[in-house]
Amino acid sequence: MSDDLLDEPGAVREENAFDPELILPFLRSQIADLPFGPVELRQFAGGSSNITYLLKVGGREMILRRPPPGTKAESAHDMDREFRIMRRLRPHFPCPIPLAHCDDESIIGSSFYVMEKLTGVIMRRDPPTGLSYTPTEARQLCRNLFDTQIKLHLLDYQAAGLSDLGKPQGYVSRQIKGWCERFEKTWTDDAPRCEDLMAWLKANEPQDCPRSALIHNDFRFDNVVLSAKDNMSVIGVIGVLDWEMATLGDPLMDLGSSLAYWVQADDEPRMQTLRMQPSQLAGMMSRKEILDYYAEKAGIAIPNPDFYYVFGLFRLGVIAQQIYYRWKLGQTNNPRVQAFGMFVTVLSEVASKVIDKAANSHI
């Protein structure tokens, strides 16, 4: 595989810097085969929540994750929880091998964990340079992605030892209430109020899906690692990353959250500016096709698809608002975050259009 296709880190941003030598005594106490040699730390640009680094120790490459600085949503950025999920899930589902977790914040100023580095392709806004797909290949890539999500939703989470991860009953109601509260707590005077949108979600709340599931809650292309043949045609998912928000709940809410990221080729120009993955490629399924594909393969009926998509758009807007709120308070100087305030406006307006279209179709 060409190095040009791999997700490469860059220099560590000043606000996220620490001396990696400080963690070596802890790592050596936890990882028996850790080699000796130079220590290097670099930072991945992707992601705006937990901070992800490439850690090299004596030539061995690992991934280190830690929370962001500044104000955090309650229960967010729990490194121990994310580490425990992967440790239990690994024998049953493709994810990185967790290596060590540290809750001693005195070492680098926060808790952190280290996991194995998976070598493969990670899709960002567009395929890496030199990697292209025919419409047939793009459609298969799309299927591979959602087949992986379906596999997760059909997983026997009790057999995986994850039945204590959350309370599936009442999940939909808690999510609507929780995301509305998070938005109100981090609202800024340059953001829309979203009062009508929140009222619609509360008024149209469906019953929980009869089949609860282990859900990822941030399932999209740049949270999966893809393997590749020598001819560069992607053949499948070798690992799913970023288990920070995973829990037990309604799989259709998880699907709706994924669809919020799915900007298709015929979406309006402002949505195209928010696109984070190559979902616009010729051959990729539309959101409607994904819903139909999911319902058939997972064996789960989706009687009110508009609700789940609208919820996903609102939730994504709240996530962006929470990150933007930290920027407004001066708790991060990441230049990418300044634009997140605009994301909230666009996502809320698109959600309102979906609601209006659904209402007019029933007149």
Q: How does pLDDT run across 126-185, given as a tens digit for each residue? A: 988 888 889 998 999 999 999 999 999 999 999 999 999 989 999 999 999 999 999 999
Query: What is the share, in percent, of the chain residues with pLDDT greater than 90?
Result: 73
Phi, psi of 51 (to 5 degrees): -95, 135
Identity (one letter) of the amino acid at 88? R
The contacts of residue 58 (CB under 8 Å, 6+ apart) are: 34, 35, 36, 37, 38, 39
What does pTM read for this prediction?
0.89
Residue 118, judged by CB atoms within 10 A of its CB (0-12, 13-18, 19+), counts as buried
Q: Structural domains in the chain?
A: 3-116 (3.30.200.20), 135-361 (3.90.1200.10)
Higher pLDDT, 72 or 19: 19
Task: Report the pLDDT value the prediction gives residue 47, as an integer from 0 to 100.
Answer: 53
pLDDT digits (tens, 9 = 90+) for 39-66: 999 998 765 568 999 999 998 999 999 9
Q: How far is CA 92 from CA 87, 88, 96, in A?
A: 10, 8, 12
Mapping DSSP to helix (H, G, I), strand (E, B) and coil, where does residue 335 land?
helix
pLDDT of residue 233: 54
Q: How confident is the model at residue 75 (pLDDT cuts 50, 70, 90)?
A: low
List b or e across 300-323, with b for residues whose CB sees 16 or more CB atoms inside 10 angstroms.
bebeebbbbbbbbbbbbbbbbbbb
